[in-house]
């Protein structure tokens, strides 16, 4: 049995270790998955690094939030490493605050909910 310890590798729960999200691989994965959305398929959303995850922005074609059709925040996908879960938030544009909508076990399931949006809380 070998009891040596490699100090060059940070353990998974080391607070000094860099966060796993955001990263460019998952940012591009989200962009690719957003092509499957049901609403506002004619606009091109952007996905930016955000706190512990990704911010989805898109032009506001309905003009309900921005009468000029400017770019608005649509969703925040936040990875909660302590719980190993993805929190999906919508933007409340009236209060200018993020509101949690759900917790999903995977990034793919969180983006699927964002794409489906049956209550129209994201793609306004």
Q: What gap in Å lies between CA 110 and CA 53, rounded to an integer?
A: 12
| Confidence at 75, pLDDT banded by 50, 70, 90 | very high
- The model's pTM is 0.81
List the 85-92 sheet strands across, edge first.
46-50, 53-59, 71-80, 85-92, 97-104
pLDDT tens digits along 22-67:
999 999 999 999 999 988 888 899 999 999 999 999 988 766 776 6
């Amino acid at each position: 049995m070998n009891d040596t310890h490699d100090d060059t590798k940070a353990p998974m729960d080391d607070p000094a270790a860099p966060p796993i999200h955001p990263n460019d691989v998952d940012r591009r994965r989200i962009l690719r998955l957003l092509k499957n959305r049901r609403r506002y398929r004619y606009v091109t959303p952007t996905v930016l690094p955000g706190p512990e995850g990704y911010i989805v922005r898109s032009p506001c074609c309905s003009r309900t939030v921005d009468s000029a059709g400017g770019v608005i925040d649509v969703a925040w996908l936040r990875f909660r490493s302590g719980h190993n879960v993805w929190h999906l938030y919508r933007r409340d544009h009236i209060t200018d605050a993020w509101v949690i909508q759900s917790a999903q076990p995977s990034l793919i399931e969180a983006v699927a909910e964002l794409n489906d949006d049956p209550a129209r809380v994201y793609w306004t």
